[in-house]
Structure formats: structure tokens, C-alpha cells
């Protein structure tokens, strides 16, 4: 049994004996803590703040109530570890505290995305080519070019992206299938990377005995942002998904089509991007409207 599993068991025993937690609560805590441990590679009990920030990024598509529940379970777990002297520090302040309001999604400007792709192009142009640069290119082309969720991207089968088919069919949240367009650029990037993927691999992005983890994807994206001169805390796989949606909508994409591509069950979820666009319009009015210049002249 792993160290995480042992400590989770001890924590749940305490919850039952001292806090009198109900069976359903214990079951929910066990599920949330076990999933968190798996996402962190069995390092939940020794995780640091940066690890928890990365973990929280993988919750980006979840409802606020679900995020709050998961974060609460981890806070109580770390509180138990500190109280019992099993670790000296408590990293849980790094966990999110979802509010009642729905915040506007973080996104990037077109220029910032261009800077990211310029770094990738520079790395791909090195001689000899590094297969890891080809992998990074394929990952980012699919994230920004198709708006895939991080979990969908890292678990793509080796043959998911076909060179002669400009789309792929994904089974996303709730088992719902959707058709996702794949650009020519993304298909070319995947084809270049796939030459370095073992033919017997089940995954397009293999790692060890499984596929690339969401946490590792998060780390790769952060490092790439830094190389592009963008503050790493502003960029994540989910931010690139948001950029995909925001830029498509600004370019005239239909909201229903965007809903389908993103895999949102409710169009109300997709409508958040109209608010992002609206906030940019307000900024434009406040900074570019002729009356602004007139006011400055009068002043």
C-alpha cells in the first residue's frame, strides 16, 4: 500500500471516530483524495503549493460546487497531517475557493498566442530535431487549434488524428460524443510527432506504461509560456482552450457551433465567452472612442 493510501485511511478513520462523519461523506472524501493522489503521481501527502495549483487546473471544467467539495476534502486532509505532526507545513492555501459568481475565463491575446507558436517554430527548426519539440508542437496545435480539454488531449489514441480526415470524434464528459475539427497545421504536427511514437503504443502521447499526465502537460505549457515571455501563471492548458473559443467567437463563429466544438452540454456555459468579448468591447469604447480624445483635448 502506498504512503498516500495509508495516510488517507488514517485520515478517514479519524473522520469517522472523532468527527462522526457519515458514510456518504467518507466515501466522497476517499474518492476525491484517491483521485487527487493519482493525478499527483502518488505524492498527495508531500505535495507543495505549486502541485496543488496544477491539480486545480485539471478541475477547470467542473462545477463550482464540485471544485469546492474537492478543495474542502484536501484542506481537511492537510489539516489532519499537520495536526498529527505528519508534515510541518500546510499547502492548502494554494487550493481554489470558488465563489458564487462565475468569473470570466482567463484568455490570451492573438499576439501572445503568436509568440508561443514562434517559440515552437524556433525549437522545431533546430538541427538535429528533438522529438520532444515535435511532441510539444502537436500538443499546442491541438490545444489551441481544436480546443481540446487537457484530459481529452493526453489520452488520445495513437491513431485518433488521421492525415486524411479533418476531424476526430471524441467521447467527453458524461459519455457524450462530439465532432472536433482538426486544422491542417495540427494534422501535420501530429503526423511529424507520430513518427517517433512506437507503433505498438496505445496512446498518441505515451509516457511510461500509460499516457502523458495532465500535470506534466500543465508543466510543459508553463515552461513554454516563460520562453515566450508570458507570465507562466497566466497560461495553462485550459487557458489555451479558452483562447481557442474566444478568438473563434471574435472571428465570427456561431455560438451553437462553438458549443458543439467545446462539448458543452448547456449553451449557457458557452455564453460566458460572449461576456469575454463584451468586456473587450467596453475596453475599446473607453480607450478608442472619439469622445475620449475630445475629453483629453478639453482637459
Cα separation values, 240 from 100, 142, 245, Å: 24, 10, 9
Contact 187, 163 (CB under 8 A): yes
Distance, in Å, from the CA atom of 236 to the CA atom of 221, rounded to the nearest integer, reads 6
Distance, in Å, from the CA atom of 237 to the CA atom of 155, rounded to the nearest integer, reads 14
Which stretches within the chain are classed as H helix?
3-17, 23-39, 49-57, 64-83, 110-124, 131-146, 150-154, 184-194, 214-227, 237-250, 255-262, 267-270, 272-288, 290-298
Q: Which of 158, 241, 242, 247 is catalytic?
A: 241
* 256 given a catalytic annotation: no
* 238 given a catalytic annotation: yes
Distance, in Å, from the CA atom of 258 to the CA atom of 256, rounded to the nearest integer, reads 5
* 23 given a catalytic annotation: no
Distance, in Å, from the CA atom of 38 to the CA atom of 16, rounded to the nearest integer, reads 23
174 burial type by CB count under 10 A (0-12 exposed, 13-18 middle, 19+ buried): exposed
* 106 given a catalytic annotation: no
3-state SS assignment for residue 168: strand
Distance, in Å, from the CA atom of 64 to the CA atom of 96, rounded to the nearest integer, reads 10
Q: Which of 273, 280, 296, 298 is catalytic?
A: 273
* 273 given a catalytic annotation: yes
Which residue, among 95, 43, 68, 94, has the nearest Cα to 216 in the 3D structure?
Answer: 43
Distance, in Å, from the CA atom of 110 to the CA atom of 100, rounded to the nearest integer, reads 30
Q: Which of 97, 102, 165, 173 is catalytic?
A: 173
Q: Which of 76, 214, 222, 238 is catalytic?
A: 238
* 211 given a catalytic annotation: no
C-alpha cell at 69: 467539495
C-alpha cell at 283: 475596453
Q: Which of 149, 194, 214, 247 is catalytic?
A: 149
Give catalytic residue positions.
Answer: 149, 173, 238, 241, 264, 273
Amino acid at each position: 500500500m502506498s504512503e498516500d493510501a495509508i495516510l488517507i485511511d488514517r485520515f478517514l478513520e479519524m473522520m469517522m471516530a472523532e468527527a462522526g462523519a457519515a458514510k456518504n461523506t467518507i466515501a466522497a472524501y476517499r474518492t476525491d483524495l484517491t483521485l487527487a493522489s493519482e493525478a499527483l503521481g502518488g505524492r498527495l501527502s508531500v505535495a507543495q503549493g505549486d502541485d496543488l495549483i496544477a491539480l486545480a487546473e485539471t478541475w477547470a471544467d467542473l462545477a463550482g460546487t464540485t471544485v469546492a467539495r474537492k478543495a474542502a476534502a484536501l484542506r481537511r486532509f492537510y489539516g489532519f497531517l499537520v495536526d498529527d505532526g505528519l508534515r510541518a507545513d500546510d499547502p492548502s492555501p494554494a487550493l481554489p475557493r470558488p465563489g458564487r459568481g462565475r468569473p470570466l475565463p482567463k484568455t490570451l491575446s492573438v499576439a501572445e498566442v503568436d509568440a508561443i507558436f514562434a517559440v515552437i517554430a524556433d525549437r522545431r527548426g533546430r538541427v538535429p530535431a528533438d522529438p520532444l519539440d515535435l511532441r510539444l508542437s502537436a500538443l499546442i496545435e491541438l490545444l489551441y487549434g481544436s480546443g481540446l480539454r487537457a484530459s481529452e488531449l493526453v489520452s488520445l489514441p495513437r491513431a485518433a488524428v488521421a492525415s486524411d480526415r479533418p476531424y476526430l470524434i471524441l467521447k467527453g464528459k458524461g459519455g457524450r460524443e462530439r465532432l472536433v475539427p482538426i486544422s491542417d497545421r495540427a494534422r501535420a504536427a501530429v503526423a511529424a510527432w507520430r513518427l517517433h511514437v512506437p507503433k505498438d503504443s496505445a496512446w498518441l502521447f505515451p509516457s511510461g506504461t500509460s499516457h502523458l499526465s495532465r500535470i506534466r502537460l500543465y508543466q510543459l505549457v508553463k515552461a513554454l509560456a516563460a520562453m515566450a515571455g508570458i507570465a507562466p501563471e497566466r497560461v495553462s492548458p485550459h487557458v489555451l482552450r479558452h483562447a481557442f473559443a474566444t478568438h473563434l467567437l471574435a472571428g465570427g463563429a456561431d455560438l451553437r457551433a462553438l458549443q458543439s466544438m467545446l462539448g458543452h452540454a448547456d449553451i449557457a456555459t458557452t455564453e460566458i465567452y460572449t461576456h469575454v468579448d463584451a468586456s473587450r468591447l467596453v475596453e475599446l469604447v473607453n480607450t478608442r472612442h472619439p469622445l475620449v480624445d475630445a475629453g483629453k483635448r478639453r482637459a
